[in-house]
Structure 1
Amino acid sequence: MCANLTKQSNFDAIIIGGGACGLMCAVQAGFLGKRTLMLERNDRVGAKILISGGGRCNYTNLHTTAQQFISANPHFSKSALSQWTVDDTINFFETYGITGQEKTLGQLFPTTNKAKDIVEVFTNLCADLDQTIWLETEVKAVEQAQGGFVITYERYGKTQQITSPNVVMASGGLPVQKLGASDFGLRIARQFGLNVVKTVPALVPLTITGKDQSWYEQLSGNSIFCRVWNERISFEENILFTHWGLSGPAILQISSYWQAGEVFYMDMLPQQNITDLITAERATNPKKLLLNLLAGLYTRKFAEALSSMLPVQKNLASLSKADLELMEQLIHEFKVKPAGDKGYDKAEVMRGGVDTDELSSKTLEAKKVPGLYFGGECVDVTGWLGGYNFQWAWASGFVIAQQF
């Protein structure tokens, strides 16, 4: 179908994508008296916000610094995060009736525990500030033209075009295809000659196959507090055994620092030492079975699963030095070599994206293409689990709104 004649818009910017970054950008532009048009392919905005945190939306983290973000340039996020801080996020939502409650590790959730309340703040403000949102609108192309850009889009079965002096790419990343995820932002970046850092799923469950698979399968549903680490990073949170491998917060965290073929380690008793516990218990209860001691530290099912690796039917008094050394290694340095990950549809975010060297850290404008901005997940800035990625999205949306 041929495109209709190009319409000259009276918008200061067209925002492609109605997620966290795009919504914040539209609202902040509105505060400055600017008008934006948001083009969203779904039938509602904030689809990923609505499912985040199990529908509760962990909308920021009190401990946010640039250190919680993975990027080829670890300093890139500092400027945006300083222009829009965690306090700014908290104050913004409080102004519109949302107070936060801290969960573990600085994670902030709405006291209502409803992600839809976060989205409603933005939709209400967009309406109040005369920011236009077109739903079920798929952008097909973005091209440079005199004085700005021509955007080709399909809406209600018609292909049309509209112009704008500025374009904000807030179209997200590849995770969760059923929510409309695509590589459109990356394709536009490449089209304009911008480098894209290789993308992979991040904050994603990991799979175990082969001879070890059945051992993990038998523990499906068991959760253990662990320290999980490799030579680059360490996290202390719960892991969850599943019928296909490992999940849980600590696994999602380490997955962002894991590459295919690598191993990592789990300390399954990070706040105690297994030899010290055995020595202390042996002094008063030498006939106690190792199985029973382990069952007091973990679930019975997990203690029994260790029988294939440890002499769990021995009493504590009869454990040899070699037994204790084996215990130390198994409990405190449990080696894991995943076969792979569960892919983009199970990933929280995407690692990689538009190369930060191509963007101004202060404005998020493409250095080679004036008027073209990239924010949120499509940029090579990937946060830890726990609200960090939302803070980056809010910050990048705010920064871009100041520019056009």
Structure 2
Amino acid sequence: MLYDAIIIGGGACGLMCAAQAGLIGKKTLVLERNDKVGAKILISGGGRCNYTNIGNSPANFISENPDFLHGIFKQWTVDDTITFFEQYGIVGQEKTLGQLFPETNKAKDIVAVFSKILYETGQDIALNTLVKSVEKNDNGFVVTVENAKGESRYHAHKVVISSGGLPVQKLGASDFGLRLAKQFGLNVVGTAPALVPLTITGKDADWYSSLAGNSVFSKVSVAGMSFEENILFTHWGLSGPAILQISSYWRPGQEITIDLLPNFNLDNLIKQERQYGGKRLVSQLLNDYFSRKLVDALGKFLTLDTKIASLSKADAKLIVDTIHRFKVKPAGDKGYDKAEVMRGGVSTEELHPKTLMSKKVEGLYFGGETVDITGWLGGYNFQWAWASGYAIAQDI
């Protein structure tokens, strides 16, 4: 059979592309190396799948050219995502910061939507199938695969690369899409783990480890970017939503600043205490806002058993600076297996801004995480996956 398109990768982008192509009468083949499609969808959001964000905009993405997103997001909006899933029984429930989850809190319901569409529109799926090569000829493309039955070749007019990025290896992640892009002469922006926990080593490692499990609402900043959400102390460093967010902007060697009390002004709190005599200890003031364990740990940097009335200007400044401008220099990150997504990928300069087809190779498309488009935590990466899958489907 000569397919309209072969879609390599049955994740969010690939499934949306196959579904939308099927709905307009195209015939596709989805090649998936796992034993089921949507493996990463199924584990996202702790199995609940934060499938979009109502505040989605190009400003929520990292890329060498974030303006590239305008052309894709005009074709497929957040409202389109919401309407699409509602048509198949998925009602969205908004959580914090615009995050939208299925009302059932079941990621498998999202995957089931695509399984239904692909079945009803007659799209083919080959599971447990490893793509060995993609070659272009005068008639289109030849894709050679390997599975339990041996080696096979499939033919198509067009090929869509939606094989994802390097996280998470146990789910079949690989650099296939990047290698293929380079094979065809496309430029690839340097890659790195993103939305990933950060590690602390050296003399301060034990201090962080002793606080493992403590979560604090904070404002975390680096290189002009900042996020206000929880941070989580761990045995190996820092995690939590705010840390995952800032990790996409952090580069090795940079120092991160953490405001441990972003909704209060500690300098004013100390002045208020002094108005009432300042009889309380520094530890008692801090205990109003932090866990006892964290306050005790802060004793490494501060004198906790001093009465507030007795604080010198230098002592008060040290407390304020420590709480509002806590400095951290991570040693590194936890790598691709703990990362939510990959930063970098196929350069947007190589792709047509409306169709995502390669400018150099007629009929070859790249979508989803394979492209140099990385969203914030909170449903943004899914919105990009749905939108890119839709845009490609309109052209194949």
Normalised by the length of structure 1, the TM-score is 0.97
Q: Confirm or deny: 8 A CA contact 1:287 1:315 kept in the other structure.
A: yes
* SS of corresponding position for 1:44: coil
Letter in 2 for 1:367: K
Q: Which residue of 2 aligns with 1:187?
A: 179
Q: Confirm or deny: 8 A CA contact 1:71 1:352 kept in the other structure.
A: yes
1:74-122 CA distance string (max 9 Å, x none): 2111111111000000000011000111111000000100000000000
Q: Which residue of 2 aligns with 1:131?
A: 123
Letter in 2 for 1:78: H
* SS of corresponding position for 2:163: coil
Q: Which residue of 2 aligns with 1:162?
A: 154
Whether 1:116 and 2:103 are equivalent positions in the alignment is no
Letter in 1 for 2:195: L
Q: Which residue of 2 aligns with 1:3?
A: none
| Structure 2 gap ranges (5+) | none
* SS of corresponding position for 2:67: coil
Q: In the aligned structure 2, how far is the partner of 1:125 from the partner of 1:403?
A: 19
* SS of corresponding position for 1:159: strand
1:21-68 CA distance string (max 9 Å, x none): 000000100111111100000000000000000000000000000010
Letter in 1 for 2:241: P
Whether 1:261 and 2:231 are equivalent positions in the alignment is no
Letter in 1 for 2:303: P
Counterparts of residues 379-398 of structure 1 (less than 5 Å): 379-398=371-390
Q: In the aligned structure 1, how far is the partner of 2:93 from the partner of 2:218?
A: 25
**Match for residue 249 of structure 1 among 223, 226, 241:** 241
Q: In the aligned structure 2, how far is the partner of 1:84 from the partner of 1:285?
A: 61
Q: Shift in Å at residue 300 of structure 1?
A: 0.5
Q: In the aligned structure 1, how far is the partner of 2:90 from the partner of 2:152?
A: 39
Whether 1:104 and 2:80 are equivalent positions in the alignment is no
Q: Which residue of 2 aligns with 1:356?
A: 348
Whether 1:144 and 2:144 are equivalent positions in the alignment is no
Q: Which residue of 1 aligns with 2:294?
A: 302
Letter in 1 for 2:307: N
Q: Which residue of 2 aligns with 1:365?
A: 357
1:168-208 CA distance string (max 9 Å, x none): 00000000100000000001000000010000000000000
* SS of corresponding position for 2:3: coil
Letter in 2 for 1:282: R
Whether 1:232 and 2:224 are equivalent positions in the alignment is yes
Q: Shift in Å at residue 282 of structure 1?
A: 2.9
Counterparts of residues 276-287 of structure 1 (less than 5 Å): 276-284=268-276, 286-287=278-279
Q: In the aligned structure 2, how far is the partner of 1:32 from the partner of 1:368?
A: 26
* SS of corresponding position for 2:288: helix
Q: In the aligned structure 2, how far is the partner of 1:331 from the partner of 1:307?
A: 12
Q: Confirm or deny: 8 A CA contact 2:159 2:363 kept in the other structure.
A: yes
1:115-143 CA distance string (max 9 Å, x none): 00000000011101111111111110001
Q: In the aligned structure 2, how far is the partner of 1:329 from the partner of 1:247?
A: 22
* SS of corresponding position for 2:133: strand
* SS of corresponding position for 1:297: coil
Whether 1:220 and 2:212 are equivalent positions in the alignment is yes
Q: In the aligned structure 2, how far is the partner of 1:395 from the partner of 1:232?
A: 29
Q: Which residue of 1 aligns with 2:18?
A: 26
Whether 1:274 and 2:266 are equivalent positions in the alignment is yes
Q: In the aligned structure 1, how far is the partner of 2:263 from the partner of 2:277?
A: 22
| Structure 1 gap ranges (5+) | 1-8
Letter in 1 for 2:190: K
**Considering only aligned residues, what root-mean-square deviation do their CA atoms show, in Å?**
0.8
Q: Confirm or deny: 8 A CA contact 1:232 1:257 kept in the other structure.
A: no
* SS of corresponding position for 1:236: strand
Q: In the aligned structure 1, how far is the partner of 2:394 from the partner of 2:278?
A: 70
**Match for residue 197 of structure 1 among 167, 171, 189:** 189
Whether 1:343 and 2:327 are equivalent positions in the alignment is no
Q: Shift in Å at residue 343 of structure 1?
A: 0.1
Q: In the aligned structure 1, how far is the partner of 2:262 from the partner of 2:278?
A: 24
209-218 or 342-351: bigger deviation: 209-218
Identity %: 65
Q: Which residue of 2 aligns with 1:16?
A: 8
Q: Shift in Å at residue 223 of structure 1?
A: 0.4
Letter in 2 for 1:22: G
* SS of corresponding position for 1:271: coil
* SS of corresponding position for 2:320: helix
* SS of corresponding position for 1:165: strand
Q: Confirm or deny: 8 A CA contact 1:219 1:241 kept in the other structure.
A: yes
Q: In the aligned structure 1, how far is the partner of 2:85 from the partner of 2:277?
A: 56
* SS of corresponding position for 1:311: coil
Q: Confirm or deny: 8 A CA contact 2:223 2:250 kept in the other structure.
A: no
**Match for residue 281 of structure 2 among 285, 289, 310:** 289
Whether 1:400 and 2:392 are equivalent positions in the alignment is yes
Q: Confirm or deny: 8 A CA contact 1:44 1:135 kept in the other structure.
A: yes
Letter in 2 for 1:267: D
Q: Confirm or deny: 8 A CA contact 2:160 2:366 kept in the other structure.
A: yes
Q: Shift in Å at residue 285 of structure 1?
A: 5.2
Normalised by the length of structure 2, the TM-score is 0.99
